Structure 1
Amino acid sequence: MGTKTSMAVKAGAFTATALLALTACGGGDDGDSEAGSDEDVLDVAVFGEEPYSWLDENGEPTGATIAVAERIFGEEMGYELDAQQTEWDNLIPGLNAGNWDVVSAGMSINPDRCSEADFGAPELVYTTALLTEEGNPLDVQNFEDLLEAQESGEGIDVVALSSGVEMGWLEELGVEAEGVGSAEDGIDFVDGGRADVFALTAISLETMAGDMEGLEVTDPFSHTVSVGAHTFRPEDDELREEFNEHLTELKESGEYLEIVGEFGFTEAEMPDLEMTADELCEGDTEALEEKYLD
């Protein structure tokens, strides 16, 4: 295998119907658990959320998680990376259908997702923010404010990614929210007046909408411990373990922060080196918050 990484973009945005039709078309078509139909090529799914993974103005995949994928899978492990963008709801179904070998989208690790896929070692700690009309006329700063506003009858309309962790948190608290398929959709809902608030990862909102006229991003807040990582099929343990070995080396040397720092991430977004995907999958919220939240 060579060490030069080539990022070729396939036809993006698979629909759920297309995914069903393509179930037998990805890696492992013969039932083999080895990643990819070509052992030198690794199919990587990305999601259009800056600064994690998205397509640039030339249609090329970029972002912090893609840079990490290029460094580890490409330079260290010798794969040629073939990237394709899809909708959030399709990331794990497409992974398990064999349409791609790895999801590089900074997906948060939680018990529900761990029941469907395996995660690499924790990479990026997330905080949340709310996108509102400029001036934040409803004065909402966190999820509790949203619930209070709705219970008081203010009629506040909230949107979040339909399968995002924010939607799960909102539902747990009893906040009524509508699901959207992409970060761009959520921003458009608020920008166009169809929603009052869009809840998303703070750094994404700042990157994608922080300078948009007429809109405002609230200060970041931590609802609970939320940490993202690369996502793998359960049968691809060997691939995941080798990735984790290289990831650990990059973290310990400081090179990991240098890579993601190019996209705005700082020391504040780096997880504790002792944190594991297993404990995040267990989902003991109280223990995680006591151990990792200030």
Structure 2
Amino acid sequence: MTVCVLLLFMPAAWADTLQRIQQGETVTIGVANEIPYGYLDEKGTVTGEAPEIAKVILQQLGTESVEVVITEFGALIPGLKAGRFDLIAAGMYITPKRCRQIQFSNPTYAIGEGFLVPTGNPKKLHGYDDIKANSVKLGVMAGAVEYGYARDFGIGLQKLVTLPDYPSGVAALKAGRVDALAGTSLTMAQLAQKDTRVELAQPFTPLVIDGQSVKGFGGFGFRKKDHTLSQAFNQQLTTYIGTEAHLALIEPFGFGRHTLPGTATAEALCKAD
């Protein structure tokens, strides 16, 4: 009922995407090939924390017909704005900079940072301070927040190697083109499980920038014009996150009660600058 009332008072162009969903039409989601947030598994099936949650919420909104576009992480926001897909389901961190370009749902998880290093961690890299203090190269994914973290931490450009995705990052690490690969601790741990030549750097020094502990909060992204879709999606998401069904869905990907976002909201995170 609430959604129907909203549609009556919103411009038709704003309501198009939600109306298509409610009519059961196919919805297209944008996913970056990043474990465990959204990725292609060994069978070629798209899975991960974000796509699986998206399927549940979209079903609640009226459709089970979902198509997936796999793209580089840095192309997700441009692709969404260009209409290549209807929403981003890639566990994307909610940041003020991104909020200026797209809308976000409330977060579905909160997570810290980590490094992937060669097995044995030969250069003893346990945090961003080690990168800053030594003559080493740090791999970061194009469009991801780790590039900004490194720059804000004071790491020079000459130490950063930008890569299109994490498979490319693992290859660069094994080839010796980078000495560590930066990402969320969940992603790094998942990648480490798949290759004995790399491992999660442990212990890892928690990242602190300007006196603030860095923790990422991930959510779903929508076009600015799709306000009714984001509002309806968020309403369903709010009642789902933290339920036993939600926890059972995300635990195979390494998430759980320990990664729940608490009371954080997209509104507050978008104003975090």
Same fold by TM-score greater than 0.5 = yes
When structure 1 is superposed on structure 2, of 214-223 and 119-128 the one drifting more is 214-223
Q: Is 1:213 paired with 2:196?
A: yes
Q: Identify the residue that residue 228 of structure 1 maps to in structure 2.
A: 218
Q: Runs of 5+ in structure 1 lacking a partner?
A: 1-30, 150-154, 285-294
Q: Is 1:166 paired with 2:149?
A: no
Q: Deviations over 1:138-194 (max 9, x none)?
A: 212111221122xxxxx2011101211111100111213111110111111101111
> For the structure 1 residues 117 and 221, does the alpha-carbon distance in structure 2 shift closer, same or farther, using more than 3 Å as the test?
farther
**Residue pairs, 1:116-127, within 5 angstroms:** 116-127=101-112
Q: Is 1:131 paired with 2:116?
A: yes
Q: 1:225 and 1:195 mapped to 2: Cα distance?
A: 24
Q: Identify the residue that residue 259 of structure 2 maps to in structure 1.
A: 269
Q: How far is the alpha carbon of 1:209 from its aligned partner?
A: 2.4
Q: 1:51 and 1:173 mapped to 2: Cα distance?
A: 26
> For the structure 1 residues 82 and 37, does the alpha-carbon distance in structure 2 shift closer, same or farther, using more than 3 Å as the test?
farther
Q: Identify the residue that residue 4 of structure 2 maps to in structure 1.
A: none
Q: 1 or 2 for the larger relative contact order (CA 8 Å, sep ≥6)? A: 2
What's the Cα RMSD here? 1.9
Q: How far is the alpha carbon of 1:211 from its aligned partner?
A: 4.4
Q: 1:107 and 1:99 mapped to 2: Cα distance?
A: 17
Q: 1:183 and 1:37 mapped to 2: Cα distance?
A: 36
* TM-score computed with the length of structure 2 as normaliser: 0.85
Q: 1:221 and 1:46 mapped to 2: Cα distance?
A: 29
Q: 1:278 and 1:75 mapped to 2: Cα distance?
A: 23
Identity of aligned residues (%): 27
Task: Kindly indicate whether the alpha-carbon contact (under 8 Å) linking 1:48 and 1:182 is maintained by their aligned counterparts in 2.
Answer: yes
Q: Identify the residue that residue 19 of structure 1 maps to in structure 2.
A: none
Q: 1:138 and 1:203 mapped to 2: Cα distance?
A: 22
* TM-score computed with the length of structure 1 as normaliser: 0.79
Letter paired with 1:177: L
Q: Is 1:109 paired with 2:94?
A: yes
Letter paired with 2:237: L
Q: How far is the alpha carbon of 1:111 from its aligned partner?
A: 1.0
Letter paired with 1:190: L
Say how many residue pairs are matched.
248
Q: 1:251 and 1:37 mapped to 2: Cα distance?
A: 24
Task: Kindly indicate whether the alpha-carbon contact (under 8 Å) linking 1:108 and 1:229 is maintained by their aligned counterparts in 2.
Answer: yes
The 4+ residue runs of structure 1 with deviation greater than 4 A are 36-39
Q: Identify the residue that residue 182 of structure 1 maps to in structure 2.
A: 165
Task: Kindly indicate whether the alpha-carbon contact (under 8 Å) linking 1:132 and 1:190 is maintained by their aligned counterparts in 2.
Answer: yes
Q: Runs of 5+ in structure 2 lacking a partner?
A: 1-11, 208-213
Q: How far is the alpha carbon of 1:215 from its aligned partner?
A: 1.6
Q: 1:95 and 1:56 mapped to 2: Cα distance?
A: 23
